[in-house]
Amino acid sequence: MKYIALMLAVIAMPSDLLANKFSEQKPNVLFIAIDDLNDWVGCLAGHPQVKTPHIDRLAKRGVLFSNAHCQAPICQPSRTSLLTGTYPHRNGVYTVEQHWRKAPLIKDAVTLPQYFREQGYYTMGTGKIFHRKDQLEPAWDEWGVRRGWGWMGKRAGPNGISGLPTPSIFDFGPLPARPEEMNDMRVADWAVDQINKNYEEPFFLAVGLITPHLPLFTPTEFYEQYPLETTLLPATLPGDLDDIPAMGRKFTRYFDTTPMSHHNITRHGLWHKAVASYLACATFTDHCVGRLLNALDNSPNANNTIIVLWSDHGFHIGEKMHWEKRSLWEESTRVPLIFSIPGEQNQNKQCSRPVGLIDIYPTLIELCHLQEKKDLQGRSLLPLLKDPNRKWDHPVLTTHHPGNHAVRSEHWRYIRYANGDEELYDHRTDQHEFTNLARNPKYANIIQKLTKSIPQKNAPYGPSESRQKFTQEFDWTKP
């Protein structure tokens, strides 16, 4: 009860006093993780037709990082990096099939929610936060729900929804299901119940929404918001791969053995349907975000809760003839990242400085006045939250398997693969990364500068569990 009384007192204060009062307290944290959501959200303008009104409204009450990137373009290593505050090339977790608690370099790491728990927070999690085995982590005082997609496969039936032959998880389209049956709605329901409770201690509530991870299923009412005849395909250029070195071209072939490859999708005339399905998924996950925001706004915790929203990596939908993630291009690495801090002056601001998901851990520590944690490899974004236009000369690194790195600065993307192959793109004139400038001697000094951010050493792979069938033969370190 004393917490409610304190909140009411805070609500009644003028805004400058509120800011001071807020800075002395330990605020709550609502930590919203989204799976595989690229820049197709309204506020990032990655697709002109996408409708994400709730994420957009969250951006309006906080700082939107418009140049935020994952540290690995795939679930497990990206989440491991964020939650342990370590880079893939320093923790040895590069693949989906690794269990990070068995990786020798970080097996004893104190994860972000675990650290909040140690520092006196009441920690709750639900949905997909870690890549798997969430409920076994010592991070949580209370764990909610997490469901697989098996029931959706059964509901889709043996032939799937998309029209692809033998689609399995590589499927998309309208699922005959009510919104309230969907996994993310159940996850959001659980989280809403927690938001509405009163707590003695400050809380850390992690909510992991799995849409738009494959299969790209939504209830029909979301799918029907994107009619196929008017759905726009992403920008592509014929011959775009011609100026890409052998390693980059090899990356685009990874999914060739799965149903969701560019040649298979286009051969079956399903590109528009896949785009519409992904757009529908973005809108559905946004709908779930809206439920969380509404619940928080109407709760006693509204004015003392920091919200951070992020996605673990991006997603190609045919750009560079590539699908899904696992590349070092913009569509795989760029992610939504929003911090909303009650009482802060900086609302409805965009920050175009390059930042990484690895920076979330130290940022939240500082925002919540926790004891500094010295072994974190990211940096606090507090200076940018206070002044989004301040100087920030820290390019952000993304890694996919040992020795393949991308460095993103404010204007440039530089990729260097394990065999020395290179790509360079100028985002001031080429946001789609159509023109590889790496071989043009005019840009040697740019490359030389960006090379300073490429790691000299790459940790070896930590132990791996059995690999997915279709990936067993693929070597990511040779063309």
Residue 388 CA: distances (Å) to CA of 358, 382, 383:
18, 9, 8
Nearer to Ca ion, 117 or 320 (CB): 320
Nearer to Ca ion, 75 or 328 (CB): 75
Nearer to Ca ion, 239 or 441 (CB): 239
Nearer to Ca ion, 5 or 235 (CB): 235
**Active-site annotation holder among 43, 54, 69, 75:** 75
Nearby residues of 462 by Cβ (< 8 Å), 6 or more positions away: 91, 92, 93, 98, 100, 102, 103, 104, 105
**Judged by CB under 5 A, does residue 134 bind Ca ion?**
no
Contact pick of 32, 33, 35, 274 for Ca ion (by CB under 5 A): 35
**Judged by CB under 5 A, does residue 36 bind Ca ion?**
yes
Nearby residues of 143 by Cβ (< 8 Å), 6 or more positions away: 124, 125, 126, 134, 135
Shortest Å distance, C-beta 70 to Ca ion = 9
Residue span binding Ca ion (CB under 5 A) among the ranges 35-43, 107-115, 129-137, 354-362: 35-43
Cβ atoms within 10 Å, residue 306? 21
Question: Which pairing describes strands 122-127 and 172-175: parallel, antiparallel, or unpaired?
Answer: unpaired
Contact map string, positions 64 to 83, toward Ca ion, x by CB under 5 A: -----------x--------
Q: What residues numbered 170-229 form the site for Ca ion, per CB under 5 A?
A: none
Peptide bond into 212 cis (omega under 30): yes
Cβ-proximal residue to Ca ion, closest one: 75
**Judged by CB under 5 A, does residue 240 bind Ca ion?**
yes
Active site residue 43: no
Nearer to Ca ion, 289 or 341 (CB): 289
Shortest Å distance, C-beta 307 to Ca ion = 20
**Judged by CB under 5 A, does residue 331 bind Ca ion?**
no
CA distance 352 to 349: 10
Residue 135 CA: distances (Å) to CA of 141, 146, 251, 310:
10, 9, 33, 21
Active site residue 281: no
Nearer to Ca ion, 38 or 301 (CB): 38
Identify the DSSP state of 275.
Answer: H
**Three-state secondary-structure class, residue 159:** coil
Residue 444's Cβ-count burial label (10 Å; 0-12, 13-18, 19+) is exposed
Residue 238's Cβ-count burial label (10 Å; 0-12, 13-18, 19+) is exposed
Residue span binding Ca ion (CB under 5 A) among the ranges 32-40, 123-131, 265-273, 418-426: 32-40
Cβ atoms within 10 Å, residue 330? 24
Shortest Å distance, C-beta 438 to Ca ion = 11
Q: What residues numbered 409-438 form the site for Ca ion, per CB under 5 A?
A: 434
Counting residues that bind Ca ion (by CB under 5 A) gives: 7
**Active-site annotation holder among 47, 69, 131, 313:** 131
Shortest Å distance, C-beta 165 to Ca ion = 25
Nearby residues of 466 by Cβ (< 8 Å), 6 or more positions away: 97
Catalytic residues: 75, 131
- Interface residue list for Ca ion (CB under 5 A): 35-36, 75, 240, 243, 312, 434
